Chains A and B, each alone.
Chain A
Amino acid sequence: MSLPEVHLVAGTVGEALRLAPVALAMREQGRLAAVPVATGADPDAVGQVLTAFGITPRITLPSGDGHTETMRRFDDLWAVRTPAAVIVRDGLAPALAAFWRRVPLLTVDAGRRSGDFGSASVLESQRRLLAQVTTVHLAATPLAAMNLLDERVIAGDTLLTGGTAQDAAQLFATRTLAAPSRGRRTIVLGMPAERADAIGPALRYLGGHYPDLEVVRAADFAPGLELATLLAQAYLVVTDDEDLVEEALAACCPVLMIGFAARHAEALHAGSARLVEPDPAAISSEAADLLEHRVRRDAMALGGNPYGDGLAAYRVAQATAALLGHGQFPDPMPAQPTAGVAR
């Protein structure tokens, strides 16, 4: 008997990185047939990330101009090949297409919000709509789950699984640890080119004091294994990219975050990330402090990753199977111990 087919829809490299461990977990559990779907503006890049995990996208469906055209393409696909369930991260168009066809929808990393309640920003609006059509919400953190409850999502439809970026980092670990060392202390800039051009020179100026310092841009490295290796070897990441924050923390690399306190309150609380002003002088001052005092940098790294425990993909796979009548829903991710607090 063939297994129920679950389509995992990845529209960006970040989504592919987070859904690949789920596909592998489904394969290992043997209760569902995971079908990775590469979509978005650059499905080849998505496929490249999936390939790094040994997964070949079974379906490639480039997105159209706007949500509705993309929705129509997914509707056409699912009219002839209807999955038992669909898993997305931020993909509103496939989510709406699944809802239209009454296909159960699961959302990983559900409940991420900017903290600006009622914000009308495009991304926030999309995420709120996505929550409204989702069948099971798989949240990475308790705060994300609380955000969903604030939007009247039923508590029983929400499961705290953790984020799968940690799982991805662990799957890469054998290869990233075996990679040749860069031999220098590397600061990774994860930000658009114009901002990197403003901040990069200030950090490179620190090279006068620290000859072993190198400053690189994350965008110059191929997504997938190459970027994961860079993050695993990096001394520090400076970024305004919320996905890169999680990926860096999953690789045990501390982060200086520019801007968005509310989006990564958990990392700030854990101590593994710090908030900095978007000012080259302020950023280079913070970086110099961490370069000068290695113990401070290592103390940040020991704060850990509050977004996952490395078992999220198994929980997501198990929850999907349970939704489709195979077994029971998993226990939620246990609370993580707080550094320095006896339990």
Chain B
Amino acid sequence: MDVADFWTKSWTSDDRVAVRQMLAPDAEIEWNLDAPVDDEELVQVLHRIAVFADTVTVVGQSRADDGAALVYDLEAPFGTARMVEFLTIADGRITEVRQVYDVTATDQFFPGLYAN
């Protein structure tokens, strides 16, 4: 199992310890949610998704030499929001996470997901 697969498995199964361990200490985090982000805020949001979503499915993934792009369907009780995640990987750790949420669907189906 490569780093990207292990990352996905860790956060979707709400293994916050593994998620923290996989993030490099100076990892750059970026997202389009209306809230500031750092590695701890990222871990918290992924935890809330893992807990609240009925299922999280990887509907597509694309690999590059130094990273991966993953497309998730986050299925909540009242609907599904899509999220795309771009990972940069170096020395077995994740050095950059860029997440793009369908903010309209996320706000609608995952209320209170992040503090804004």
| Interface positions of A (Cβ within 8 A of B) | 66-69, 71-72, 75, 79, 96, 99-100, 117-118, 120, 125, 128-129, 132-133, 150-152
Shortest distance from the beta carbon of A147 to any chain B beta carbon, whole Å = 10
**A residues within 8 A CB of B100?**
96, 99, 129, 132-133
The contact sample of 30 A-B pairs, CB cut-off 8 A, is: A66-B60, A67-B60, A67-B71, A68-B61, A68-B69, A71-B62, A72-B63, A75-B62, A75-B69, A79-B64, A96-B84, A99-B86, A117-B104, A118-B79, A118-B104, A118-B105, A118-B108, A120-B79, A125-B82, A125-B102, A128-B103, A128-B104, A132-B100, A132-B101, A132-B102, A133-B84, A150-B104, A151-B103, A151-B104, A152-B34
Indicate whether B80 reaches chain A with its CB closer than 8 angstroms. yes
Interface residues on B, range: 20 to 34
**B residues within 8 A CB of A100?**
64, 69, 86
- Since A68-B62, A96-B100, A117-B104 are in contact, a sample of 15 more A-B pairs with Cβ atoms closer than 8 Å, ordered by chain A residue number, is A66-B60, A67-B60, A68-B61, A68-B69, A72-B63, A99-B98, A100-B64, A125-B102, A125-B105, A128-B105, A129-B100, A132-B103, A133-B84, A150-B104, A152-B34
- Provide the bound-state CA to CA distance between A100 and B65, in Å: 13
**A residues within 8 A CB of B98?**
99
**A residues within 8 A CB of B62?**
68-69, 71-72, 75
**Would you list which residues of chain B between 61 and 81 have a CB under 8 Å from chain A?**
61-64, 69, 71, 79-80
**B residues within 8 A CB of A129?**
82, 84, 100, 102
- Provide the bound-state CA to CA distance between A69 and B71, in Å: 12
- Provide the bound-state CA to CA distance between A72 and B82, in Å: 19
Contact B60 A68 (CB under 8 A): yes
Indicate whether B32 reaches chain A with its CB closer than 8 angstroms. yes
**A residues within 8 A CB of B84?**
96, 129, 133
- Provide the bound-state CA to CA distance between A125 and B109, in Å: 13
| Interface positions of B (Cβ within 8 A of A) | 32, 34, 60-64, 69, 71, 79-80, 82, 84, 86, 98, 100-105, 108
Contact A96 B105 (CB under 8 A): no
Q: How would you classify the secondary structure of chain B's contact residues: helix, strand, loop or mixed?
A: strand
**A residues within 8 A CB of B64?**
72, 75, 79, 100
**B residues within 8 A CB of A118?**
79, 104-105, 108
Shortest distance from the beta carbon of B45 to any chain A beta carbon, whole Å = 16
**A residues within 8 A CB of B82?**
125, 129
- Provide the bound-state CA to CA distance between A199 and B113, in Å: 48
Max count, chain A CB within 10 A of own CB: residue among B64, B69, B100, B104: B104
**B residues within 8 A CB of A132?**
32, 100-103
- Provide the bound-state CA to CA distance between A133 and B102, in Å: 10
**B residues within 8 A CB of A152?**
34, 103
Shortest distance from the beta carbon of A111 to any chain B beta carbon, whole Å = 12
- Provide the bound-state CA to CA distance between A75 and B66, in Å: 12
- Provide the bound-state CA to CA distance between A96 and B71, in Å: 10
* A151 to chain B: closest residue by CB: B104
Shortest distance from the beta carbon of B62 to any chain A beta carbon, whole Å = 4
- Provide the bound-state CA to CA distance between A152 and B60, in Å: 26
The 4 closest A-B pairs by CB, nearest first: A68-B60, A72-B62, A68-B62, A118-B108
Contact A120 B105 (CB under 8 A): yes
Shortest distance from the beta carbon of B102 to any chain A beta carbon, whole Å = 5
Shortest distance from the beta carbon of A129 to any chain B beta carbon, whole Å = 5
Max count, chain B CB within 10 A of own CB: residue among A72, A120, A133, A150: A120
- Provide the bound-state CA to CA distance between A150 and B102, in Å: 13
Shortest distance from the beta carbon of A85 to any chain B beta carbon, whole Å = 19
- Provide the bound-state CA to CA distance between A128 and B84, in Å: 12
**A residues within 8 A CB of B104?**
117-118, 128, 150-151
**A residues within 8 A CB of B34?**
152
Shortest distance from the beta carbon of A68 to any chain B beta carbon, whole Å = 3
* B31 to chain A: closest residue by CB: A132
**A residues within 8 A CB of B61?**
68
- Provide the bound-state CA to CA distance between A100 and B100, in Å: 11
- Provide the bound-state CA to CA distance between A67 and B108, in Å: 24
**A residues within 8 A CB of B69?**
68, 71, 75, 96, 100
- Provide the bound-state CA to CA distance between A215 and B103, in Å: 44
